Structure 1
Amino acid sequence: MSTLELVTIDEERAVRGFLLREARLLDEDRWDEWLLTVSERIHYWMPGIENRRREDERGAFSAEHMALFDDGFRELQRRVARFKQPSAWAENPPTRNVHLVSNIEVYAGENAGEYRVYSCFVNIRSRGLDEQYQIAGRREDVLCREGEGLKLLRRQILIPNATLPCKNINTFL
């Protein structure tokens, strides 16, 4: 494992602000604005879990196993377009979301202008009168400087559940 290089306080503050703004945009269903915070080179990956013995070096999360999401920018655009369709029955009435982000650690990335970011999240979703689901996990992100601001270049989403604790994932984590 390589050593993690700390960043300046201003860089850390900018990254934290990026993550908090991202959560607010998603909570407010401002998906088009959220897409503007995503690099067109994005890799958005949420692997499934495979229960393995401790001595198995592959671990629980593996690129060999099924992924719940393995998306690029076009797939994210398609999901946003689907969320906005009045005929999308899974989003009519719309899901109400709260995205919480915590335990944020910010380090210098592999390339200049990149940041390696570790965080934990909780997504609370409610729909109708009594449907409520929670998904919690951790994320490993790479943010990069593009133009005047930061953009999400890579996101790896790791949840502890071998089976999803909800019917679907009608949001971004």
Structure 2
Amino acid sequence: MMSAVTMEEHFYIEQALYQEARWLDKRNFQQWLDWLADDVAYCVPSRFDRKPQGRNESWKIDEELSQTALDLHLSENNKMTLTARVMRLTGNRSFSEVPPSRTTRVISNVEVHRHEQDDCYRVDSVFNLQRSRLQNQRDRFTGRREDVLRRKGAGFELLQRRVILNDTVLRSPNLSVFF
């Protein structure tokens, strides 16, 4: 069962999320990778429109998300694949990022609870990610993040992230950004 955290814990965890957004917006990908736990799980399930058939049918968001091995996630990564994505992104092989995207992330509505693991916290937040490329390409991604942060020394590391995008159809020509 999750329980409340102190204001100080909430503050420091919230600051960690803001720092992460700055690293990504400034393209400090190595700092971001260093912040990720070695056993990180990072998932962006696909979302589909579902129309409940009756009054008593559930309107739960989880029922709109890919969940089984037969469903296709937009992205499902661990530390190794995230590192490979960063290496490709910052190398000379990512033609979808020449020139690099300019991004601004806004993180808000941060809620922090104790996790069932002693050294972990369940952190829910919403995000708005604006990306600009070339002269006229603009993309906006909005949604929620369900994170688990683990204490590491005097700070935290990201152990799990599930990104729930609001859109069912992404109009972006690529998905080379991190949420």
Q: Normalized against structure 1, the TM-score is what?
A: 0.93
In the TM superposition, structure 1's runs of 4+ consecutive aligned residues that sit over 6 Å from their partners are: none
* Equivalent-residue separation in structure 2 for 1:143 and 1:26 (angstroms): 18
* Equivalent-residue separation in structure 2 for 1:51 and 1:122 (angstroms): 21
* Equivalent-residue separation in structure 2 for 1:133 and 1:153 (angstroms): 27
Residue of structure 2 equivalent to 1:38 = 36
Match of 1:152 among 154, 158, 175: 158
Residue of structure 2 equivalent to 1:90 = 96
* Equivalent-residue separation in structure 2 for 1:87 and 1:142 (angstroms): 32
Cα deviation, 1:102-139, whole Å, max 9, x if unaligned, reads 11001101101101001000110001111111000001
Cα deviation, 1:72-102, whole Å, max 9, x if unaligned, reads 1100000010111123211111110111101
Residue of structure 2 equivalent to 1:59 = 63
Letter in 1 for 2:64: A
Is 1:77 equivalent to 2:83 in the alignment? yes
- Number of aligned residues: 171
Unaligned runs of 5+ in 2: none
What RMSD, in angstroms, separates the aligned Cα atoms of the two structures? Answer: 1.4
Residue of structure 2 equivalent to 1:68 = 74
Compared with structure 1, are the counterparts of its residues 62 and 88 closer, same or farther at alpha carbon in structure 2 (3 Å cutoff)?
closer
Sequence identity percentage: 32
Match of 2:139 among 87, 108, 133: 133
* Equivalent-residue separation in structure 2 for 1:93 and 1:31 (angstroms): 16
Unaligned runs of 5+ in 1: none
* Equivalent-residue separation in structure 2 for 1:73 and 1:105 (angstroms): 25
